[in-house]
Amino acid sequence: MDNEIKTAWIYKPLIAAVLAGYIGTILNLIYDVVFRDSAGFLLSGFISVSSIIFATMLIVLVAGAIYAILGRFMRRPTIIFEVVFVIITVLCAWGTFHIHRTDDAHQNLQFQELLAGLVVISGASIVIGIPLLMKKDSLFF
């Protein structure tokens, strides 16, 4: 039974996604602290430590499942996966600058910059992290 779990087609991509999610979450938390300290941004209603951890891990795990599905039906899923998630990341980062959080223009811009940075870091952990970790067989039992 132990051998069946290790050879399951979804095992490696999800483990890679968990590791990439941990890395992305830590980088997002570091970015959040540095940005808030340097910019003096105080609004934390939507972007808090718990929402960063939950959202980053959830998004990266979903991306890992998508990578696993692509890998199940394609011989080389990495290129398509990377292109699709680069496009998604760029569109999401662009979309963050159209969010209206508050009436104060300065705080609104700071919120948009914080959210855009979190989106870019999460997207990079997906686009770079999952395929890179998939190549490391030593990470998997």
pLDDT of residue 106: 87
pTM of the model: 0.87
Q: Label residue 135 by pLDDT band (50, 70, 90).
A: confident
Q: Give pLDDT tens digits for 26-67.
A: 999 999 999 988 988 877 777 889 999 999 999 999 999 999
Close Cβ partners of 16 (under 8 Å, ≥ 6 residues apart): 64, 67, 129, 130, 133, 134, 139
Directed axis angle between helix 11-39 and helix 105-124, to 10°?
Answer: 150
Close Cβ partners of 134 (under 8 Å, ≥ 6 residues apart): 12, 13, 16, 67, 78
> Measured between alpha carbons, how far is 49 from 17 in angstroms, rounded to an integer?
20
- Tell me if residue 98 falls in helix, strand or coil: coil
